[in-house]
Structure 1
Amino acid sequence: MRSARILRPLLLTAALLALAAPAALAQPLEIPTFDFIRPAETPQEGLQTMQLLLLLTVLTLAPAIIILCTSFTRIIVVFGFIRTALGLQQTPPNQVLIGLALFLTAAVMMPTFSEINQTAVQPYLAGEIDQVEAIERGALPLKAFMLRQTREADLGLMLEVSGQPAPEGPEDVSFLTVVPAFALSELKTAFTMGFLIYLPFIIIDLITASLMMSLGMMMVPPTLISLPFKVLLFVLVDGWHLVVESLVRSFTG
């Protein structure tokens, strides 16, 4: 009896749905329409749509632009060398290093960003120039910054790869050629600075390993003993200040 009381409402609901189904199927199916999706009526509307797509594409590539077209690459690579040379695995954390690198990048690039704002952004907001001209004007200070840090060998390699003739001046070099050449030069400079940072810590590791071998402590890892001394040395010489100062001066000097 109890099961009958439970099944009775279910059977009644199924019967009502079966009766209502033909009436629902008999009604015409309404397909929703999107009034905002329509073909462009004038060339100006099509141009605005293309400009919007171009802007969205630039915003998508913004992280790559920040990494490869600014001082961020050199700074974060040198910070990685410091952590590895000290023998620390996750100290400082990646979030701390990346955040510090971003703020240092903003400080180093501030003159370039100010020039872009004065020559491109503000005239565009005032309606004095169009979007295409604003992009061209904004790329010039950034390209000038990258060319100052780019080695001639790397720039020549990219010109050879792209099949472009030798430019008569910096303004003749395309932006797409400068970016990879600048990235290669930044990696070389960062690795050079990282090697110089590594040297004192390697000496500490060698001295510690030699002392432990002379004392017969074969089973103890030398890095376990040398790590406190490396951290102490880095703190005593105010290593973070020296490294940041060297990084900033490497761009402005």
Structure 2
Amino acid sequence: MAILPAATLAQTVQERAPAATARPAAPRAGAPAGIVDRASTDTAQAVRVVLGLTVLALLPALLVCVTSFLRIIIVLSMLRHAIGMPETPPNPVLIGLALFLTLFTMSPVLHKVNQDAFQPFMDGAIGMQPAYTSASQPLREFMVRQTREQDLALMVELSKAKPPQSMEEISNVQLIPAFMLSELRAAFQIGFVIFLPFLLIDLIVSSVLMALGMMMMPPTTVALPLKILMFILVDGWALVLKALVGSFH
């Protein structure tokens, strides 16, 4: 092998030196920025999923406290007792019917909550506090329309709070029980009206049996078929459901 002169060897080393320095530097230790951003996005999405599951867990309580379900299920239960059949229709049937009637009456409110609060929050467009404010506003408007001033004043008095100057100053802690109290009152008023014709049938049957000397025969044995027949002839279920849905402002 031929030995290169010293001058030629030095020139070759100088020519190769820039190529060595031009090599890219090795990446530093640590996670890249893209991975960090992806991790924070996944964490935020997980928090939204947990909050969504929490809302679903609280859905039965919210259904009873802030929707029309309370009035509807009470009236249907009182109707069942007024007819004289405490177990017919069964509870799952009444609850299912009450859920669909609640969906019909609350559909504008639920659509607004989903459009303004739930979907933007799940998409990450708004935070938790704006989503809560946007969701509570249509529900508050619905509850205010159904709540009596006397019930609202009672809850403000029981909470020992300063009398509010406007509806915006009334907290949900005061508005929700006042709404439930008004719903109970409205449900019992409708139930009382439903009880009257069935009570009239019971009185007539009892008087007829007494006049015929059939005092040992239970009046319900004769009154129950008559109640069912009258309820069918007047299309009672349609009348009750129509009155229930129309009772909401």
TM-score tier (shorter): 0.7 to 0.9
In 1, Cα distance between the equivalents of 2:79 and 2:217?
24
Change (3 A) 1:52 1:158: farther
Quote the residue 1:24 is aligned against: none
Quote the residue 1:194 is aligned against: 191
Between the two proteins, the alignment pairs up a number of residues equal to 211
Does the residue aligned with 2:163 lie in a helix, a strand or coil?
Answer: coil
Q: Which of 207, 211, 214 is residue 214 of structure 1 equivalent to?
A: 211
In 1, Cα distance between the equivalents of 2:220 and 2:204?
11
Quote the residue 1:65 is aligned against: 62
Code of the residue aligned with 1:119 in structure 2: it is D
In 1, Cα distance between the equivalents of 2:59 and 2:113?
16
Whether 1:133 and 2:135 are equivalent positions in the alignment is no
Give the % identical residues. 51
In 1, Cα distance between the equivalents of 2:234 and 2:46?
57
Q: How does 1:16-95 map to 2 (within 5 A)?
A: 57-95=54-92
In 2, Cα distance between the equivalents of 1:127 and 1:61?
22
Change (3 A) 1:50 1:124: closer
Q: How does 1:96-111 map to 2 (within 5 A)?
A: 96-111=93-108
Q: Which has the larger radius of gyration?
A: 2
In 2, Cα distance between the equivalents of 1:138 and 1:70?
13
Q: Would you identify which runs of 4 or more consecutive aligned residues in structure 1 move more than 4 Å? A: 44-57
Q: Which of 119, 122, 128 is residue 119 of structure 2 equivalent to?
A: 122
In 1, Cα distance between the equivalents of 2:65 and 2:118?
21
Please list every run of 5 or more consecutive structure 2 residues that lacks an aligned counterpart in the other structure: 1-40
Quote the residue 2:33 is aligned against: none
In 2, Cα distance between the equivalents of 1:207 and 1:213?
10
Q: Which of 143, 147, 161 is residue 146 of structure 1 equivalent to?
A: 143
Please list every run of 5 or more consecutive structure 1 residues that lacks an aligned counterpart in the other structure: 1-43
Moved more, 70-79 or 162-171: 162-171
Structure 1 position 104, deviation (Å): 0.7
Quote the residue 1:36 is aligned against: none
Q: TM-score, normalised by structure 1?
A: 0.77
Code of the residue aligned with 2:96 in structure 1: it is G
Q: How much is the aligned-residue C-alpha RMSD, in angstroms?
A: 2.3
Code of the residue aligned with 2:187 in structure 1: it is A
Q: Which of 140, 160, 163 is residue 160 of structure 2 equivalent to?
A: 163
In 1, Cα distance between the equivalents of 2:179 and 2:158?
15
In 1, Cα distance between the equivalents of 2:55 and 2:216?
56
Quote the residue 2:24 is aligned against: none
In 2, Cα distance between the equivalents of 1:206 and 1:217?
14
Q: Which of 220, 243, 246 is residue 249 of structure 1 equivalent to?
A: 246
Q: TM-score, normalised by structure 2?
A: 0.78
Q: Deviations over 1:125-175 (max 9, x none)?
A: 343310221011101100110110001111111111112222222222111
Quote the residue 1:238 is aligned against: 235
Q: Deviations over 1:173-224 (max 9, x none)?
A: 1112111111110000000000000001101000000000010101110011
Structure 1 position 90, deviation (Å): 1.2
